[in-house]
């Protein structure tokens, strides 16, 4: 509607005014913009909201990309496989440390069983 009336004005201006008259009319044209109250705050709020939405959406896009093509079941299976490998590796490392500790204790026990001085001191 506004565009339409604007076109009407344009047609009127073009058909009825020459350049000098148009310049005069334009010189008398005054714009008195009224900025609504809380304009700045509203703008900042809109900016903040759109930023939050874009951060959240990036997360969701990434997650969707992860889950979407693979599928939930496959994702769970992959996680289980990775978990098994990591858990197994960590368990083996821990066992190695424990075995080494036990070996040291057994070696100590053997030396004590052979050395009477150590037996006496442990009594």
Partner 1 sequence: MSALSIRTNGLAPSKVQRWLLVAILTGFGAALGAFFVCEYAATRQMRSMMTASDGELLWLRREFNLTDAQYNRIKLLHEKYSAQCDLMCQRIAEVNARLDALISANHEVTPALASTINEASRVQEDCRRAMLGHIYEVGAIMTPSSGARYVDMMKATIIQPGLPSKTVVSQ
Q: From residue 51, how far is each of 38, 63, 92 by CA, in Å? A: 20, 19, 47
For partner 1, the binding residues in 50-89 under the rule CB under 8 A are 53-54, 56-57, 60-61, 63-64, 67-68, 72, 75-88
* Contact flag: residue 119 with partner 1 (CB under 8 A): yes
Q: How far is the CB of 47 from partner 1 (least distance, A)?
A: 14
What angle do the packed helices 39-70 and 72-114 form, to 10 degrees? 70
Q: How far is the CB of 45 from partner 1 (least distance, A)?
A: 16
* Residues 111 and 118 sit within 8 Å (Cβ to Cβ): yes
Q: Quick one: 21 or 113, whose CB is closer to partner 1? A: 113
Residue 35 dihedral angles phi and psi, to the nearest 5°: -80, 125
Q: By CB under 8 A, which span of 2-10, 21-29, 38-46, 109-117 interacts with partner 1?
A: 109-117
What is the DSSP track for 3-58?
A: HHHHHHHHHHHHHH--HHHHHHHHHH------PPTTHHHHHHHHHHHHHHHHHHHH
Q: Quick one: 17 or 112, whose CB is closer to partner 1? A: 112
Q: How far is the CB of 54 from partner 1 (least distance, A)?
A: 6
Binding site for partner 1 (CB under 8 A): 53-54, 56-57, 60-61, 63-64, 67-68, 72, 75-88, 90-92, 94-96, 98-99, 102-121, 123
């Amino acid at each position: 509607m506004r565009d339409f009336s604007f076109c009407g004005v344009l047609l009127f201006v073009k058909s009825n005014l020459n350049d000098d008259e148009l310049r005069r009319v334009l010189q008398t044209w005054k714009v008195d913009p009224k900025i609504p109250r809380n304009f700045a705050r509203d703008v900042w709020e809109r900016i903040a909201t759109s930023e939050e939405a874009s951060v959240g959406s990036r997360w969701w896009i990434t997650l969707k990309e992860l889950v979407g093509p693979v599928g939930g079941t496959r994702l769970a299976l992959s996680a289980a496989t990775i978990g098994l490998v990591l858990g197994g590796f960590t368990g083996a490392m821990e066992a190695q440390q424990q075995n080494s500790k036990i070996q040291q204790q057994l070696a100590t026990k053997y030396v004590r069983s052979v050395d009477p001085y150590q037996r006496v001191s442990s009594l």
